[in-house]
């Protein structure tokens, strides 16, 4: 039989079995949303989970993915297996864990998607269908990140506004446009609280490069510190928008928490810094003067050429107060401090 004890700011659901032994499932603060993060073992999930747990409580933020989690992930808070292609699995999690908000990070990225289009269609299209329908049926607030890859070569590239032509040339970009439009449709048709942000390339010291076209801007730090050399798969003058992970995570939280009546759009551009490989090398050489560079463009060059150079994000800044904190120099220094022993670049830092 079920018994329930109600307290002023929380309630406890307990199950009493035939032997009289009670199993307490969870304690929930009424004022805190219950949040599920899919694909949480990727570049953004762990950092976002930490921030949200600090704000809403450790047990109110549930990480999930299809891979076995490390011990540090398991010790940091709740973690579940969640397959976005299995609707019943998702529904059982939402019901059993009483989810209120869902952050959907599961995706196959641009360069990897071009190597396996059928898998990208499954995860990035079919999986999004499941997530949208799940949130509609259960009245969840939904955040799905989009990308600069949602634009194409016909898009104005400098700057790229929120509302403009979108003709992407990768399956990743096509799927993201599909997600943006379907999310907006679900909002207008069913009242779904759908929110999305088009992120630039995300630069992070916490996770290894994951197969994106912008990942050179992460890989170069690892190779510069390990070997003092880097071979870039893009031309040195290829300008793309980027964002440092702490700014990206803060933007996610701010949009997720923004009052609904402040939002004039369902999908926003998010801008921070834009640079070329050559400009990033110049910033790195302030700390690693002997860095050697080669440029050998491959198939990712065509993808990069079809993307924006600078995102125009005045709507995000006006509607919910978005403002980035890291410029190129601050990001470069923060990455080196996170990845390298201080002695490796302290001398250059002081000059």
Catalytic residue IDs: 172
Q: Please state, in angstroms and as integers, the Cα–Cα distance from residue 321 to each residue in 315, 316, 317, following that order.
A: 9, 7, 5
Residue in 166, 131, 132 with CA at minimum distance from that of residue 147: 166
Give the number of other CB atoms < 10 A from CB of residue 155: 18
Residue 206 contacts residue 70 (beta carbons within 8 Å): no
Residue 308 neighbours by CB under 8 Å, 6+ apart = 148, 151, 155, 157, 158, 159, 160, 240, 241
Beta strands in the chain (DSSP E): 2-6, 10-16, 22-29, 35-38, 61-65, 79-81, 101-104, 141-143, 146-147, 193-199, 201-203, 229-232, 240-244, 267-269, 273-275, 292-295
Residue 334 contacts residue 284 (beta carbons within 8 Å): no
Residue 107 contacts residue 124 (beta carbons within 8 Å): yes
Residue 99 contacts residue 92 (beta carbons within 8 Å): no
β-pairing, 10-16 with 22-29? Answer: antiparallel
Q: How far apart are CA 10 and CA 214, in angstroms?
A: 44
Q: Please state, in angstroms and as integers, the Cα–Cα distance from residue 149 to each residue in 42, 123, 317, following that order.
A: 18, 16, 21
Residue in 323, 148, 172 with CA at minimum distance from that of residue 241: 148
Tallying the residues shown for the chain, one arrives at: 351
């Amino acid at each position: 039989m079920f018994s329930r004890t109600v307290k002023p700011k929380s309630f406890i659901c307990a199950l009493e079995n035939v032997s009289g032994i009670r199993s307490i499932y969870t304690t929930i603060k009424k004022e805190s949303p219950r949040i599920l993060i899919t694909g949480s073992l990727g570049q953004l999930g762990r950092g976002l989970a930490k921030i949200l747990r600090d704000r809403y409580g450790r047990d109110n933020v549930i990480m999930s993915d299809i891979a076995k989690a490390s011990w540090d992930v398991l010790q940091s808070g709740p973690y579940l297996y969640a397959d976005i292609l299995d609707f019943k699995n998702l529904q059982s999690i939402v019901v059993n864990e009483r989810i209120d908000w869902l952050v959907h990070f599961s995706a196959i990225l641009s360069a990897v998607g071009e190597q396996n289009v059928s898998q990208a269609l499954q995860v990035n299209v079919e999986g999004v269908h499941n997530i949208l329908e799940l949130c509609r049926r259960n009245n969840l607030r939904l955040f799905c990140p989009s990308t600069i890859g949602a634009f194409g070569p016909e898009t104005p590239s400098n700057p790229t506004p929120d509302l403009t032509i979108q003709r992407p040339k990768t399956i990743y970009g096509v799927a993201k446009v599909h997600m943006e439009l379907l999310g907006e449709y679900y909002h207008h048709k069913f009242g779904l609280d759908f929110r999305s942000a088009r992120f630039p390339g995300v630069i992070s010291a916490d996770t290894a490069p994951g197969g994106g076209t912008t990942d050179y801007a992460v890989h170069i730090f690892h190779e510069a510190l390990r070997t003092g050399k880097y071979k870039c798969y893009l031309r040195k003058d290829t300008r793309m928008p980027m964002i440092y992970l702490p700014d990206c995570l803060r933007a996610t939280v701010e949009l997720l928490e923004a009052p609904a009546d402040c939002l004039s759009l369902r999908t926003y551009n998010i801008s921070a810094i834009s640079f070329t490989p050559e400009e990033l090398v110049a910033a790195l050489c302030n700390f690693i003067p002997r860095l050697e560079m080669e440029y050998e463009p491959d198939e990712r060059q065509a993808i990069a050429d079809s993307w924006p150079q600078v995102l125009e994000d005045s709507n995000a800044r006006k509607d919910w107060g978005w403002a980035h904190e890291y410029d190129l120099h601050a990001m470069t220094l923060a990455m080196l401090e996170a990845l390298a022993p201080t002695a490796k670049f302290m001398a250059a830092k002081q000059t």
